[in-house]
Chains A and B, each alone.
Chain A
């Protein structure tokens, strides 16, 4: 019998009450669970090691910047995959941009090492306890975290393709440039 999204939520409420702040089913049918940075590692471990969950594989990890989401500007998304029953879930942790720290998952999956370095490099998420948190794809002496929305791609003064001229309310970094 396949693990359904409802079963995941019910079992989660039983085994780790309070860990799922909220949840939704995304457009692709994958369950998104929102949690806190205090609980994320315990939750990942439970989902990996508990036989009924069996999310053995960390597919990928990425950060997202929502500049307008005051106090929760950065989101970290963990994609987990249960290979036996072929079920995927996503865990989301929201972090304030002036204190973007979250414990590392390298203790659970060695593959988290470079994934976390990448998100540190581009978004400045600090993974506490990471064995080697350095920039990975950008140059070492770069001073900004370039994937944050305030950094435009090219010339920031160019206005000819501004979203406003297309009847949309864009914000910084959201127009073509």
Chain B
């Protein structure tokens, strides 16, 4: 309402419009985003985003790498939740080669993916806090995020760009330290998270600041290709985990939280609740973790055990063939999507039977929804625009590919 009356009076502006460069390098933009804003005092009349500052040509590089070497490229899309990207890619290849995973591998993946979702949402929600002037929650929660990274480190050896898992399963079983750290995390995290919740969720100042900032209606969000928490905040319960369950997500009981207004506060609350639901999923997956192998029996794609490579001729041959990518790949095309931290992360893979993809297209949720940003901040205050951007959780790596 306020916005409308503002624009009806726009024709009678007597002052001059100012042009303001928001970014590309400014701490408040959390990444390299440039927006050329037309400002009428503190209000935004129009915005023109420029993107591509960290474009690294992943789709081109992927056409020149064997399948297993594409995984590290996917790390660098949404680097706040790399494991989800890695596993989405593995599942795409598994769909192409027709590989079924043992239950244990799928449950292990679910645990890792939900931990990444928690880490991803923690970054987003604490940063919303920072942008409203509440740094404390950020420092608290980053200690928890650190513990999630330690868990990743225990599985794959790295933390941010994880390259976790392999085509055909996981690279190794959970170690005893992982079990210990995960149990500890599941025991202590909820209380600390609720402490953070207590600081912000019903905080009057925070609510006044966030409610009504950068709203988008459900129909508009769908037309703009929104998926993930940003769409759910607008009231549409689309979630890839439920719509097209992958990796045994159908085995778990969880709710899809939805908002109403699609504003910053709803996005915040939806992500808060998704963290709780992720914990629920991890509990179910961990308590029911099946016995068995942690990878499928696909010697053409999955590296043999290292000791075998040194002692067995067959293992040596397979090792060589996998590393040199001299493995049979079916001809065909597949689309696979997973619920990434920010929505439907899709991989459209076309194989001509060669060692590398003929074409690989990433459906990157950030790239798709960021184009609605100018519309969402039109007529709002500059400070709300900053808040809207952080609550949309635009990750430069995924935006620019």
Contact = CB atoms under 8 A, between A and B. Distances in A.
B268 to A, nearest CB: 24
B57 interface: yes
A156 to B, nearest CB: 12
A-side interface mostly: loop
**B interface SS class:** mixed
Interface stretch (B272-280, B282-290, B330-338): B330-338
Nearest to A28: B334
Nearest to A177: B64
A77 B225 CA distance: 16
A77 B60 contact: no
Nearest to B336: A28
Interface string B46-86: 00000110010101110111100000000000000000000
Contact of A60 (B57, B63, B332, B368): B368
B368 A111 contact: yes
B60 A109 contact: no
A118 B364 CA distance: 12
A86 B225 contact: no
B371 A110 contact: yes
A28 B356 contact: no
Interface in B80-134: 95-96
A28 B95 contact: yes
A110 B326 CA distance: 43
Nearest to B98: A27
A147 B354 contact: no
A60 B363 contact: yes
B55 A114 contact: no
B333 to A, nearest CB: 5
A130 interface: no
B222 A57 contact: yes
A168 B222 contact: no
A139 to B, nearest CB: 8
Given A58-B225, A109-B225, A114 B367 contact: yes
Nearest to B95: A28
B60 A147 contact: yes
Given A64-B350, A173-B63, A28 B335 contact: yes
B371 A27 contact: no
A74 B226 CA distance: 28
Given A27-B96, A59-B346, A111 B224 contact: yes
A147 B59 contact: yes
Contacts of A86: 243-244
Given A60-B348, A122-B59, A176-B64, A113 B332 contact: no
B333 A136 contact: no
Interface string A117-156: 0100010000000000000111100000011000001000
Nearest to A174: B354
B51 A168 contact: no
B263 interface: no
B238 interface: yes
Contacts of B95: 27-28
Nearest to B56: A137
A30 interface: yes
A6 B171 CA distance: 41
A59 B344 contact: yes
Given A28-B336, A146-B57, A114 B368 contact: yes
A153 B61 CA distance: 7
A57 B238 CA distance: 11
Contact of A77 (B348, B356, B400): B348
Given A122-B59, A153-B61, A166 B326 contact: yes
A62 B335 contact: no
A168 B96 CA distance: 21
Nearest to B331: A27
B359 interface: yes
Given A62-B361, A88-B335, A138 B52 contact: yes
Interface in A44-58: 56-58
Counting from the closest, the 9 A-B pairs by CB-CB distance are A111-B225, A27-B332, A137-B52, A62-B361, A28-B334, A60-B363, A137-B55, A114-B371, A153-B64
8 contacts: A56-B222, A57-B222, A59-B363, A86-B243, A110-B224, A114-B368, A146-B57, A175-B64
Interface of B: 51-52, 55, 57, 59-61, 63-66, 95-96, 222-225, 238, 243-244, 326, 330, 332-337, 344, 346, 348, 350, 354-356, 358-359, 361, 363, 367-368, 370-372, 400-401
Given A79-B346, A111-B225, 11 more contacts: A28-B336, A59-B337, A59-B344, A62-B359, A90-B335, A111-B368, A153-B60, A153-B63, A153-B64, A174-B354, A176-B355
Interface of A: 26-28, 30, 32, 56-60, 62, 64-65, 77, 79, 83, 86, 88, 90, 109-111, 113-115, 118, 122, 136-139, 146-147, 153, 163, 166, 168, 170, 173-177
